[in-house]
Chains A and B, each alone.
Chain A
């Protein structure tokens, strides 16, 4: 019998992981929802930003928060660059070509990162305390990452609901042609969306870099689960992805305590396949976007 405190700890860690997964999925989902293009290389962009944060903090002695801000800045630049250089020319190509192009980018980034930085695992060594709450031990880094993820998601939500450009982003996702008739240049809205998606990648990078070490295969480790969370939530469905993040992270976290972390992933991916049979449109498929 497993100590219930362990289980509770695992459940809470699952929630904390879920917050970061949700943030990762958010940017990918936003871009898919608006442009109908899946950036398969999304988490590899996160990885590049993590390297920047790592080098700024460990190499140049920047404080973590400043390195994180720089990571967000790089994320925006990468988002804009990917949109202008790779997506724009193939925006009206068949989806499979778009997948191949962003998939090509994935391997390009992965190989280039290996060439530049080798396969070493690098981690930011900062001493963040472990917090004890009523016999539970929780990592301070995870708590911060979770809190900031939630704040970022709320911020994005407010941006999409309350501002003109945010509402226009949602409108373009529904009808690109009609938005042009409103006087909005769809290309500009796409660019803004890609920049925001990139900023989300940069923020995720900053929050991940205080918990995980970075290496060229970071995207390979987190990419599939991020993509899976988006599909499970219904691609483009923000709320669905949010819920799916927590479902997945709980399975991984609890599975990790009950069996092993690997087994947690095995169960999560098996569930994903089963869900594709029973709810191919995602868990909130019945609801409108």
Chain B
């Protein structure tokens, strides 16, 4: 069953067009990646979905509701959590306060306790550091906090923008393991990554985005075997 659908979305900033006629679907329970080089429009794509920017044309449909052009703070309430590029934590707030802000929505606030327990179970290090300022955490811990904060809004779809960015290789592997666990709990995931090799092991399907257009789509393992994908992005 289709959970999220983008239909012929064109979007950009000012005179610049970052996405051209992009269509994409994510089924409930699926993990999907959007890969592509820098500047392909991957971040813009996630921003359109979470309502940070409104598309110029096209449609955004989530669980049957047309959400095109709705502001970000309304879209979260529909069950889409966005872990943005660069994590965007509140650096001067503590770990616990960051998680609390993740549960800002009235509906999420009601299940605040249970959500917090689950997040601490998933990321024990966050429980240890709950009183510490988010800005003082290591890169890996910050990414876990960003994931945890997104889970606090009790979403059904999680958008991840470059989760491996700035992390040491060992940490990248741990993080992808954690994302796998989150996925196993039943969340639907749409992830944007430059680390193509790792992310294709994580997801079911992937889209290849280049200069704002979808160039290819398919099962993750099929895409990983495509010659030019391997040469260009996997580095084999």
Contacts and interface: CB of A to CB of B under 8 A. Distances in A.
B90 A180 contact: no
Interface stretch (B16-24, B68-76, B121-129, B220-228): B68-76
Contacts of A132: none
Contacts of B175: none
A174 B92 contact: yes
Contacts of B93: 167, 170-171, 174
A184 B104 contact: yes
Contacts of B231: none
B104 A183 contact: yes
A183 B92 CA distance: 20
Interface string A183-198: 1111000000000000
B99 to A, nearest CB: 11
Interface residues of B, number: 28
B204 to A, nearest CB: 25
A171 B100 CA distance: 11
Summarize A's interface: helix, strand, loop or mixed: helix
Interface in A158-190: 164, 167-168, 170-171, 174-175, 177-186
B217 interface: no
A181 B90 contact: no
Contacts of B77: 183
Interface string B96-130: 01001110110011000000000000000000000
A219 B81 CA distance: 46
A178 B84 contact: yes
Nearest to A185: B73
Contacts of A177: 52, 72, 84, 88
Contacts, number: 73
Contacts of A179: 101, 104
Contacts of B76: 181-183
A222 to B, nearest CB: 30
Interface string A58-84: 000000000000000000000000000
Nearest to A181: B82
A289 interface: yes
A149 to B, nearest CB: 25
Nearest to A179: B101
B50 interface: yes
Interface string A3-30: 0000000000000000000000000000
Given A182-B102, A288-B91, 11 more contacts: A171-B90, A179-B104, A180-B52, A180-B71, A180-B72, A181-B73, A182-B76, A183-B104, A185-B71, A186-B73, A288-B92
Interface of B: 50, 52, 71-73, 76-77, 81-82, 84, 88-93, 97, 100-102, 104-105, 108-109, 133, 135, 149, 153
Interface of A: 164, 167-168, 170-171, 174-175, 177-186, 288-289
